[in-house]
Amino acid sequence: MFESANLDHRVDKAAYLREMPKLREALLNAQFDLNQHGRFPVLILIAGVEGAGKGEAVNLLNEWMDPRHIYTHAFFEPSDEERERPALWRFWRALPPKGKIGIFFGAWHTMPIIQRVQGLISEGEFGHAIHEVVRLEKMLTDEGVLLLKYWFHLSKSQQKKRLKSLEKDPATRWRVTEREWEYFKVYKKFIRVCEPFLRRTSTGEAPWIVVPGADARYRALTAGKHLLAAMRERLDEKPVKQLPDRNPPLLSSANSTNVLRALQLDQPITKPEYQKQLQKWQGRLNLASRDPNFRNISVACVFEGNDAAGKGGAVRRVTSALDARSYFNVPVAAPTEEERAQPYLWRFWRHIPRRGRFVFFDRSWYGRVLVERVEGFCKEADWMRAYTEINDFEGALLRHGVVVMKFWLAIGKDEQFKRFKAREKTSFKRFKITEEDWRNRKKWDAYETAVCDMVDRTSTANAPWTLVEANNKYHARLKVLKTLTQAVEDALDRVAKEAKKAKKK
């Protein structure tokens, strides 16, 4: 990866002064066009060898372009806000929206590389980190992000020279501390880790661009020209009407059996029995939520279901058992302008709770493979890749110890009809029934197929779908409450055991 960068590249001052103003102007123009049309975000990752001019590059980009439309993020030690959420969360929330430029000074590559150099993770774990990066970056580029990854490079002798010259100059002496010389000592080891990392995370859509860093003028001009070319190429691209379909269809059943129809939707229960059980499980959930170990857990609950299946009512029976400070509800409606300017999952990422909290999603990221699929709001390629993206997303939550619960509330077609009619008659429930509900109902079968595919493709050992028979509201509420409570209790047991084990050591 570093053959070219190890050479001695220079640009003399005269050439620089001749070319730089033209480059700046062109970059400003490109940024203006990007901002005007806002079709995609640009995300620039800055990485590389100590002393190769990473910081200078960040400053220069902000100087050359309009800094109001550049969001620069440096990632140091994670904050408590960040530590209490999955490792990628800090990057998710810092993504630039469409039309803007984001600069990440260090990003998801930083920790795996440092940890591997220091021997804190094994070659196997390093490999997994690499694959996670590839999957994340694939999702971003699939979502239209122009992802530019710059690696500023110095050879070992160039690094030595650079550090010496910084040390000599009184104005920059402070920049060379023991730490820098420590880095210099492990140069070879560092490169042995970085080289395969760069190679294995380079793809056609997100290749690493290695910039020779020894000469300030050279690296400014090369990186700047590359950024310009990359932006220009995407900006000037003619919109393509139709993409080839590279996704085989999913399975259609040869008969009428499916996971929804296999449910016995009517599960009668008397009111007194319901009230007794409700009290019992609400009490247990409340107790669990006040367990000292709950501070180490967070819970993300997804509620999906047929229209009028009683999602809201079920959520209320859960939340009424909880301290209002320990949970929040996220009713998912059409995405806001801010959300539309981001990758699909972004509007859910932002609601990932800190430790010790519940979050309840009334509809969720599964909209991608339900309503968006059925109504054609997104392309087949988009909802097909969404299964993988959702599993990756939930996998990140699970690895971080989040309890992920997913409920599908199922009612029959007749039951829905009865409820729609009843809603139309009851004045205070009329707001709950719209033309859209009747329209959706006509697509009952298409939704049914989408739900079955969703369950098959996203029900996992650690985050299974719970299918809730909901013709009887009492039964549905109790099943939700009980399933959730038991899952939280299991998680608390796990945390307690782990704490005990850690103590023994």
Q: Which of residues 203-222 bind a second copy (CB under 8 A)?
A: 203-207, 209-211, 218, 221-222
Contact string 430-469 vs a second copy (x = CB under 8 A):
----------------------x--xxx-xxx---x----
- Only one residue has tokens 């493979």, namely 369
Is residue 496 within the footprint of a second copy (CB under 8 A)? no
**CB of 393 closer than 8 Å to CB of 247:** no
Considering the complex, state which of residue 45 and residue 322 has its C-beta at the smaller distance from a second copy. 45
Quick one: which of 21, 119, 124, 170 contacts a second copy (CB under 8 A)? 124
331's enclosing H/E stretch is strand 327-331
Is residue 417 within the footprint of a second copy (CB under 8 A)? no
Considering the complex, state which of residue 74 and residue 250 has its C-beta at the smaller distance from a second copy. 250
Contact string 16-45 vs a second copy (x = CB under 8 A):
---x--------------------------
Strand partners, 101: 42, 70
Instruction: State how far the Cα of 100 lies from the Cα of 71, in Å rounded to an integer.
Output: 8
How are strands ordered across the β-sheet holding 327-331? 327-331, 358-362, 298-305, 402-410, 465-469
Is residue 262 within the footprint of a second copy (CB under 8 A)? yes
Q: How far is the CB of 387 from a second copy (least distance, A)?
A: 7
Q: How far is the CB of 282 from a second copy (least distance, A)?
A: 29
Is residue 502 within the footprint of a second copy (CB under 8 A)? no
Considering the complex, state which of residue 304 and residue 362 has its C-beta at the smaller distance from a second copy. 304
Considering the complex, state which of residue 318 and residue 369 has its C-beta at the smaller distance from a second copy. 369
Nearest to 230 by CA among 137, 54, 101: 101
Fill in the amino acid letter for 79: S
Considering the complex, state which of residue 171 and residue 240 has its C-beta at the smaller distance from a second copy. 240
Dihedrals phi, psi of 331, to nearest 5 degrees: -80, 125
Q: How far is the CB of 141 from a second copy (least distance, A)?
A: 6
Chain positions 263 to 302 lying near a second copy, rule: CB under 8 A, are none
H-helix segments, 122-215: 123-142, 156-168, 178-185, 187-200
Stretch that binds a second copy, among 87-95, 181-189, 236-244, 486-494 (CB under 8 A): 236-244
Q: How far is the CB of 327 from a second copy (least distance, A)?
A: 29
Instruction: State how far the Cα of 109 lies from the Cα of 117, in Å rounded to an integer.
Output: 13
Strand partners, 117: none
Residues, the chain, total?
505
Stretch that binds a second copy, among 24-32, 69-77, 227-235, 269-277 (CB under 8 A): 227-235
Q: Which residues fall within 8 angstroms of residue 191, CB to CB, at 6 or more apart?
A: 2
Q: How far is the CB of 390 from a second copy (least distance, A)?
A: 11
Nearest to 140 by CA among 111, 98, 169, 77: 98
Chain positions 130 to 159 lying near a second copy, rule: CB under 8 A, are 131, 141, 146-148
Q: How far is the CB of 447 from a second copy (least distance, A)?
A: 15
HSE of 303, CA atoms in CB hemisphere, 13 A: 27
Burial code (b: 16+ CB inside 10 Å, e: under 16) for 133-159 equals: beebbbbbbbbebbbbbbbbbbbeebb
Q: 3-class SS at 283?
A: helix
Is residue 381 within the footprint of a second copy (CB under 8 A)? yes
Please report the sign of the dihedral spanned by the C-alpha atoms of residue 235, residue 236, residue 239, residue 244.
negative
Stretch that binds a second copy, among 58-66, 73-81, 121-129, 264-272 (CB under 8 A): 121-129
Stretch that binds a second copy, among 24-32, 68-76, 78-86, 230-238 (CB under 8 A): 230-238
Quick one: which of 18, 164, 175, 199 contacts a second copy (CB under 8 A)? 199
Quick one: which of 177, 252, 264, 270 contacts a second copy (CB under 8 A)? 252
HSE of 55, CA atoms in CB hemisphere, 13 A: 4
Quick one: which of 11, 43, 139, 235 contacts a second copy (CB under 8 A)? 11
Fill in the amino acid letter for 218: Y
Q: How far is the CB of 471 from a second copy (least distance, A)?
A: 20
Stretch that binds a second copy, among 85-93, 101-109, 192-200, 298-306 (CB under 8 A): 192-200
Please report the sign of the dihedral spanned by the C-alpha atoms of residue 365, residue 371, residue 376, residue 380.
positive
- Only one residue has tokens 């996971």, namely 259
Considering the complex, state which of residue 227 and residue 411 has its C-beta at the smaller distance from a second copy. 227
